[in-house]
Amino acid sequence: MGLKMEELIWDVEGKSTIRAFRKGVIPGLIMQGNDLNKAVRLAMGLGLCVHENTVHNIVVTQAKVLIAMFLNNEAVTGLSYHALGLGATAPGASDSLLAIEATRKAITSSVRTGTGIVLSTYYTAAQSTFNIKEGGIFGNGATATANSGTLFSHFLQTEDNSAGLNDLTFEYSFRIK
């Protein structure tokens, strides 16, 4: 007696953490030979984080389709871009874009442990001078162009950096269980 396909249920859950550091803290630690993740840990240990916020997110339906495509050996590419937006509309499972995408960057670091992945992205103060309301992770054909690729997750996360006072790091983590 084997497992029936309809009995296979995977749950994908994720969260996003934003950390704000005064301009120059993270680049200074990176210039000393640290990678982004170590620079963030050092800055946190030194009490140099001025704000931190963690939110859970929606892993959208098309992300689950992307996983199914991979399992079916269809040509797909991984998660490669983190985007920031200005929209405050609650994310939904059918989302394919951010409400108002303001900017995006290539993911700086990706680490997989078992069924979990942590993606980290760093924005200088000059790259993130927005009143941020939302964020998203994109892959499968994503480029630096807004709204390109496949949206994997969408989340509301606020950080008013419109004055450009802080460099921002984002740590997006998810696991399949």
Q: What is the per-residue pLDDT across 108-150, written as a single tens digit (0 to 9) for each?
A: 999 999 988 999 999 999 999 999 999 999 999 999 999 999 9
C-beta of residue 59 within 8 angstroms of C-beta of residue 92: no
Judge whether residue 5 has pLDDT over 60.
Answer: no
Q: Specify the pTM.
A: 0.89
Enumerate the domain spans of the chain: 14-176
Q: Which amino acid is at 128?
A: S
pLDDT-based confidence at residue 11 (cuts at 50, 70, 90): low
